[in-house]
Structure 1
């Protein structure tokens, strides 16, 4: 994946450590015993991963990590409801969110239900017309299907009135969600048959790092286990159905949701994603195969492939679909993709989603320029970016906010003014700022709102915009406390290295970085820091990227700065923050050592 390179002027706290000396010592001490390059072993040690934990980290066991989760409140009650529906072949209704997590949660339940002969109908909100969240209109549709059981996925924890309405219609309601609770949450417990949400506990639990799809998978696993123990279900025909269906076949959907919803890739999540992505590349599910084929993804699938290729295409449906497709909303359409038994239909839907994503990219480029223009007009940047305009597309507000975070390193709020006096907004955050907490603190100004630490959405009246801007800036300032809005980057967790070490050990380091997969939030890709390099020459590529030729102690190396918006020229001295890459395109023409190059993430001119 190409990471945008940035020119930075902020202070870098590069603590004095002789990494070259460490490297020689580690080579001598660990070459015979270590299963991973010494520099990476030292990095993991700084992250608290060593000894037995290192072995478990490199080869995570799904069953062992699942045991560490302990008992998740509500799982057994939800599993009993699901088991009862499967055993009696009841109609099941599902209402899920339209993002990857909600969709994958619905696919997990629908595929399981249909494997046991139950009819399962999935409903999802229309993002661009109805917005996010549970609604009475969706509940009425579920009841009209004749369902007796309703599963609400990736939402519902705080929707007391809607769930009480569902109960009044005779529906048995189960909520599986991972969003933080509000005051309404305890009321929801009172009317729902079961609520699975680790955040309802006052204690800090390992399961609070799970997405809704992971919770749904654990519930399905529990339900099918209970079903196997049920003697009344032990009939020949149903035994055959059980043998044909394996809960583990649904792990690819859990992996997709975990990565797309930016869950920390440690512990149970790491085990799920590692195994799920390995299964994804050889899955027999037609929808998954069609999507991978459409995106030209072959071979080993990494978490970055999910983040930057697969998830954007899935999410493009809800972001760009202004009308239903063959009577289906965006979320319902993607569920159809992942559950269809028709190869041609799977390919048609995949192609349609790819087209929507291309439209999304073009719209994003145009509107990002507008966002940057609005920010540039501000006299002084506050600790939080807030941009408001009536030309923004409601479907890509979150992406625009994320791009502003990348550029300005501040929590960013992008708000679209509506014609009816209502504004809809999306926010993305930075480390150390809890957006969900900030949003909850301003609930008196909002029509609705919620989210996670680093991502949130909200709706408010235009008349309250001014108060909201002041309130959110105050909330962010309080969370920052004494931290300056121009944060100091501390790299003590990472690796300082010299060009000589890269040329000697670069290929081995890159090979061993693959052992750290899946890489992402909570387990970020190692970043290497180089100081005092001289720029020998530069070349602009496609008008947007910069290729540089760098020298240190008469040793040279190539580097690439993607989407670089700074200036570099021959003779400049620079400090770099970079990833190591193999030059696959031109390595047949390069010396063996030059097959390794730098993907530069940040570039700072030095004295």
Structure 2
């Protein structure tokens, strides 16, 4: 039996201040020992590696992921060879090609990858990104007719298109060839008639790469394009070195929150190394305005660069991100980065206002906070931020949340939802649509989008609560925090953080390590602007550990941290603290338990 698998209620915590059970990640003892011996790892690190499902044989590739060892055969993707032939045909004929991209980071990264390959081959492509508010997600018949009228001879959709049946049918009618590069789930029998459709999640694709972001699929496409162009003898000099654009593939993988395992892990790890040279003018300019520093990391991508690129699609011009990542002009990059930085600041203000109003709704409406699913709506909430707010509220209330912004003039509410593990929100939203409660709706287990008539919202709320009630109850009982290791305030040091960085990059499929410290005391707690709390933790080991908890001011966790009396258990993630060259660490507190109540 895996050691730790029966360790339910780690440190005796069956209910933390956020209502969670603490568990130690289960790890096979034999695999742990083999990792220690094979790779010279500490017991803590070897155990963490084993707990992530990494076998003894796969340990080397996980610790040192390389493209050479893990790159898939492009031909294993359905339609990949066909897509490469069509695109190289277009290159040779110098046809007018348009890249139709989604408005998020993955779409912008995918578009920039393809634009850069064609540019290296002497053909400049146009980019079209739909407006989130006016046009909505993905291709539409109107957009394709516009592109056709504007002279487009071939369209490549990236990070969208696989489910755009009406738009693709329209493209066929107007004789506009379309190559689809996507990664979103497709239902059996849903493959539309297009020139080529490359999607590792199409039912007949045997690549086994369904966890890739669209940027990862696009990167494999570049390898297929190089192979096809090489076969035709099109390289007079050196062929495009696609490794130079690995930074864009990593952007899509991290910001689309994909599983960082296998080839996708190698793509991200190597992409962060390439990004660290800051050779892409757009990424460099964005890093400058974000005031980031040091080698690129998942933090830089997910919290500094990604939100700024997304801001264009959320509340600004939707094509800004794709233009930024594909430009080679440092001056243009600087101007675009400055614009995106300003939009991101505005996005934060809009988001904060919507979140504050949403919390007021939930707290004041009788029994709503106790419901299995929270559905909150108000006039004028910006559709570009409701998804972020839904995610924040999901973290706060630990249950599925749908946030709806109502447009009274159009008599429609646009909603975005985020779910809790174990509760299939997409399935419930689909059921509501089939019940006639929605104008449109769909998604997957953890996220969904919908359109609804405002006067139907109370009925929708009741339907979803009933539909997800049993799942939500079970999920709440199972809601736990997985702990990797118990540490002291003295042992939680820079050496421990550095050791565990061998598991990076972190993300879905490879969670960032969570450490627990028992019976610590809080010293010098300080409330910070934004609802954060900073403090120092001490224990019997004699160590002093700096700590911070984000957005907890009005929660039970925040209130407990602001008290100095009595010992508590804390759990969180170690982060480097390089302020004024100190080379230390601090703990980002994720949860707190009171031993007297746990």
- TM tier, shorter chain? 0.7 to 0.9
Two-structure CA RMSD over aligned residues (Å): 2.9
1:131 partnered with 2:133:
no
Which has the larger helix fraction? 1
1:3 aligned residue:
none
Q: Distance in 2 between matches of 1:118 and 1:70?
A: 25
1:98 aligned residue:
103
1:489 aligned residue:
480
Residue 244 of structure 1 deviates from its aligned partner by 5.9
1:342-375 deviations in Å (ceiling 9; x for gaps): 2211111110100000111111111111010011
Q: Distance in 2 between matches of 1:435 and 1:16?
A: 26
Please tell me whether the aligned partners of residues 377 and 404 of structure 2 are also in contact (alpha carbons under 8 angstroms).
yes
1:39 aligned residue:
44
Residue 487 of structure 1 deviates from its aligned partner by 4.1
Q: Distance in 1 between matches of 2:76 and 2:18?
A: 48
Could you say if the C-alpha distance between residues 508 and 31 of structure 1 is closer, same or farther in structure 2, counting changes exceeding 3 Å? farther
Q: Distance in 1 between matches of 2:156 and 2:350?
A: 35
| 1:84 counterpart SS class | helix
Q: Distance in 1 between matches of 2:496 and 2:97?
A: 50
| 2:197 counterpart SS class | strand
Q: Distance in 1 between matches of 2:35 and 2:441?
A: 52
Listed as ranges, the gaps of 5+ residues in structure 2 are 1-14
Could you say if the C-alpha distance between residues 182 and 461 of structure 1 is closer, same or farther in structure 2, counting changes exceeding 3 Å? farther
- TM (norm. structure 2) is 0.87
2:10 aligned residue:
none
Please show how residues 529-540 of structure 1 align to structure 2 within 5 Å. 529-540=516-527
1:417 aligned residue:
406
1:338 aligned residue:
325
549-558 vs 303-312, which deviates more?
Answer: 549-558
1:157 aligned residue:
162
Residue 478 of structure 1 deviates from its aligned partner by 5.2
1:76-126 deviations in Å (ceiling 9; x for gaps): 221221121112221112211111111111112222222222241111111
Residue 224 of structure 1 deviates from its aligned partner by 2.0
Could you say if the C-alpha distance between residues 543 and 431 of structure 1 is closer, same or farther in structure 2, counting changes exceeding 3 Å? closer
Of the three residues 381, 387, 410, the one matched with 1:398 is 387
Of the three residues 340, 358, 362, the one matched with 1:375 is 362
Please show how residues 55-204 of structure 1 align to structure 2 within 5 Å. 55-67=60-72, 71-182=76-187, 185-186=190-191, 188=192, 191-201=193-203
1:299 partnered with 2:294:
yes
1:433 partnered with 2:428:
no
Please tell me whether the aligned partners of residues 311 and 340 of structure 2 are also in contact (alpha carbons under 8 angstroms).
yes
Residue 470 of structure 1 deviates from its aligned partner by 3.2
Of the three residues 241, 249, 264, the one matched with 1:269 is 264
Could you say if the C-alpha distance between residues 113 and 495 of structure 1 is closer, same or farther in structure 2, counting changes exceeding 3 Å? same
2:231 aligned residue:
229
Of the three residues 460, 464, 470, the one matched with 2:462 is 470
Of the three residues 235, 239, 245, the one matched with 2:236 is 239
1:460 aligned residue:
452
Could you say if the C-alpha distance between residues 16 and 532 of structure 1 is closer, same or farther in structure 2, counting changes exceeding 3 Å? farther
539-548 vs 415-424, which deviates more?
Answer: 539-548
Q: Distance in 2 between matches of 1:229 and 1:203?
A: 24
Residue 596 of structure 1 deviates from its aligned partner by 4.4
Residue 452 of structure 1 deviates from its aligned partner by 4.0
| 1:310 counterpart SS class | helix
Please tell me whether the aligned partners of residues 282 and 327 of structure 2 are also in contact (alpha carbons under 8 angstroms).
yes
Of the three residues 536, 552, 568, the one matched with 1:564 is 552
| 1:112 counterpart SS class | helix
399-408 vs 470-479, which deviates more?
Answer: 470-479
1:352 aligned residue:
339
Please tell me whether the aligned partners of residues 579 and 600 of structure 1 are also in contact (alpha carbons under 8 angstroms).
yes
| 1:200 counterpart SS class | coil
Please tell me whether the aligned partners of residues 24 and 484 of structure 2 are also in contact (alpha carbons under 8 angstroms).
no
Could you say if the C-alpha distance between residues 146 and 202 of structure 1 is closer, same or farther in structure 2, counting changes exceeding 3 Å? closer
Could you say if the C-alpha distance between residues 500 and 8 of structure 1 is closer, same or farther in structure 2, counting changes exceeding 3 Å? same
1:8 partnered with 2:17:
yes
Please tell me whether the aligned partners of residues 436 and 451 of structure 1 are also in contact (alpha carbons under 8 angstroms).
yes
Please tell me whether the aligned partners of residues 251 and 301 of structure 2 are also in contact (alpha carbons under 8 angstroms).
yes
| 1:298 counterpart SS class | coil
Residue 421 of structure 1 deviates from its aligned partner by 1.2
Could you say if the C-alpha distance between residues 120 and 369 of structure 1 is closer, same or farther in structure 2, counting changes exceeding 3 Å? same
Residue 577 of structure 1 deviates from its aligned partner by 0.6
| 2:127 counterpart SS class | strand
How many positions carry a matched residue from both structures?
567
Residue 435 of structure 1 deviates from its aligned partner by 3.3
Residue 290 of structure 1 deviates from its aligned partner by 1.5
Could you say if the C-alpha distance between residues 520 and 293 of structure 1 is closer, same or farther in structure 2, counting changes exceeding 3 Å? same
Could you say if the C-alpha distance between residues 479 and 156 of structure 1 is closer, same or farther in structure 2, counting changes exceeding 3 Å? farther
Of the three residues 179, 202, 218, the one matched with 2:220 is 218
Q: Distance in 1 between matches of 2:218 and 2:37?
A: 44
2:8 aligned residue:
none
Could you say if the C-alpha distance between residues 288 and 464 of structure 1 is closer, same or farther in structure 2, counting changes exceeding 3 Å? same
1:286 aligned residue:
281
Q: Distance in 1 between matches of 2:429 and 2:282?
A: 37
Could you say if the C-alpha distance between residues 485 and 415 of structure 1 is closer, same or farther in structure 2, counting changes exceeding 3 Å? same
350-359 vs 84-93, which deviates more?
Answer: 84-93
| 2:520 counterpart SS class | strand
1:257 aligned residue:
252
Listed as ranges, the gaps of 5+ residues in structure 1 are 1-5, 322-329
Q: Distance in 1 between matches of 2:539 and 2:121?
A: 64
Q: Distance in 1 between matches of 2:528 and 2:379?
A: 35
Q: Distance in 2 between matches of 1:476 and 1:439?
A: 10
Residue 201 of structure 1 deviates from its aligned partner by 1.4
Q: Distance in 1 between matches of 2:110 and 2:575?
A: 35
